[in-house]
Amino acid sequence: MRLHENQPDPKIIGKSPTYVVFHPTVPVFYCTNEIAEGGFVRAIKFDPRTFKCSLLSKETSNGGAPCHLMMSNDGKWLFSATYVGQSTLMYPVNKDGSLGKLCQQFVHEDVPSTHWRQGAAHAHSTYVFERPNRPSCVLVPDLGTDRLYVYDFDGSKAPSKALTRGKNQEYCSVPIHSGPRHVWPDKAGNTIYMMNEMSHTVSVFKFSK
């Protein structure tokens, strides 16, 4: 990862920085340290003029290989998926952009599979789906289970209650050996497209009004 011709200090970035997302209002970015035996999520402040970086905070992923990050639109919550840790994570974000302690973790259950890449659940990414005047949710493709997990999200609630398993539907299943990886909505916010890494296909989901 390079922000400028001068490489940031490896001690600030950490080992195996594989995914980066920026805060919407303050000069802070977040990166995962995708370490199989146990990873971290870091908040790093940078100077927009010089690109000089300094570590704001570092929090555990409480499981191996955090591989993806996404932030809520208001910059108050950060979500992560841990590939080896099999989990969806949520962190509160302070006003200065630093991370609070991991406040919620949902471990995905294993689903039997005959494919060598699906010996366990593997949460692969997160997407915060926020629509005006409609309930918000967090979508998490799981490569190991062939599922798209759905979590209800209400950022106005306390950290321990802001994310819950989907009340109407906890997950959507796709054909076996699909290997879900990433999701993205259309502009209207009514359709979700999910890329399946193993089957080289795209699944399409319709959201209820």
pLDDT digits (tens, 9 = 90+) for 102-135: 999 999 999 989 999 999 999 999 999 987 778 8
10-206 folds as Methylamine Dehydrogenase; Chain H (2.130.10)
Task: Write b or e for each residue in 54-86: b if 16 or more Cβ atoms lie within 10 A of its Cβ, otherwise e.
Answer: ebbbebebbbbbbbbbbbbeebbbbbbbbbbbb
- Tell me the percentage of the chain whose pLDDT exceeds 70: 96
Q: Is the Cβ–Cβ distance between 68 and 126 less than 8 Å?
A: yes
Q: What is the mean pLDDT of residues 6-20?
A: 82
Does the pLDDT of residue 4 top 70, yes or no?
no
pTM, two decimal places: 0.93
pLDDT at 209 over 80: no
Q: What would the two tokens of residue 75 be? A: 């910059």
H or E element in which residue 201 lies: strand 201-206
Q: Which of 83, 86, 84, 140 is nearest to 110 (CA)?
A: 86
pLDDT digits (tens, 9 = 90+) for 17-67: 999 999 999 999 999 999 988 899 999 999 988 888 999 999 999 999 999
Residue-level pLDDT at 188 = 83
% of the chain with per-residue pLDDT over 90: 80
pLDDT of 6: 56
